[in-house]
């Protein structure tokens, strides 16, 4: 069978392309929601981790240690088959909840490490010039922390996209499951695996590109401010 025949049989015949797009959208949807919720929750956990209260700080440390050390698939299955087993939540929302918890733990530690690495002297200098604590944090510490945290945070998001490939274990028809189904139906598993890998790579590099674009825009804005 020629490559053209394989291409038509696996990606065109029977509307396979549309099925793949639907699975891809499920993967993107779960990833985006998990990133948004997980990042917001991670910021709260980071604040708790850096709190002066020893009890709150300890609870946040345990939260991070447990979730960072737990396999994502087992966490997903625990949420689906135990925690939300009798709830009316759909499987994709349960997956979002599981991935959000995992992302929050990684993001919290990433944010904490970045904030710890910022130049404290600059923030103190800003306070002596009349800046409030919030202003010094927002204008001095936060931009530094964001730049320090970016590589690790970016890797966390790309890892999340890869982790979503396990959602088929809880009956969700995502990109990986669609790829497996088409590969089995057409008896072309190798070709479909390669297609799936290319699609996941595309998602990962779209994520990298978004960060690069944001960094470029931020640099141009900073240059304009200096020019003024």
| Chain position carrying tokens 């001095």 | 140
pLDDT (average), residues 182-194: 91
Percent with pLDDT over 90 in the chain:
59
Average pLDDT for the chain? 88
Higher pLDDT, 137 or 194: 194
How many domains would you assign to the chain? 1
* pLDDT band of 221, cuts 50, 70, 90: confident
Sign of the Cα torsion 112, 113, 119, 121 reads: positive
pLDDT single digits (tens) 110-151: 999 998 888 777 777 777 777 776 777 777 777 788 888 888
pLDDT single digits (tens) 84-97: 988 889 999 999 99
Sign of the Cα torsion 92, 93, 94, 99 reads: positive
Structure tokens at 43: 């910021």
pLDDT single digits (tens) 8-43: 788 888 788 899 999 999 999 999 999 999 999 999
Give residue 56's domain range.
Answer: 3-227
CATH of the domain at 92: 1.10.3720.10
Q: Is the model's pLDDT at 184 over the cut of 80?
A: yes
């Amino acid at each position: 069978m020629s490559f053209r025949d394989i291409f038509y049989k696996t990606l065109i015949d029977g509307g396979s392309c549309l099925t793949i797009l639907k699975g891809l959208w499920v993967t993107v949807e779960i990833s985006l929601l998990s990133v948004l919720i997980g990042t917001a929750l991670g910021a709260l956990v980071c604040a708790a981790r850096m709190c002066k209260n020893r009890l709150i700080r300890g609870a946040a440390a345990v939260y991070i240690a447990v979730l960072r050390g737990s396999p994502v698939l087992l966490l997903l299955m625990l949420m689906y088959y135990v925690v939300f087993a009798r709830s009316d939540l759909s499987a994709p929302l349960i997956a979002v909840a599981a991935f959000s918890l995992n992302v929050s733990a990684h993001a919290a530690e990433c944010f904490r490490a970045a904030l710890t690495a910022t130049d404290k002297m600059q923030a103190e200098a800003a306070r002596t010039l009349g800046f409030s604590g919030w202003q010094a944090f927002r204008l001095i510490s936060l931009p530094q922390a964001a730049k320090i945290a970016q590589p690790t945070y970016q890797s966390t998001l790309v890892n999340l996209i890869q982790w979503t490939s396990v959602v088929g274990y809880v009956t969700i028809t995502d990109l990986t499951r669609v790829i497996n189904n088409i590969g089995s139906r057409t008896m072309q598993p190798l070709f479909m695996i390669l297609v799936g890998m290319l699609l996941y790579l595309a998602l990962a590099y779209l994520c990298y590109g978004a960060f690069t674009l944001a960094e470029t825009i931020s640099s141009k804005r900073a240059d304009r401010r200096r020019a003024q």
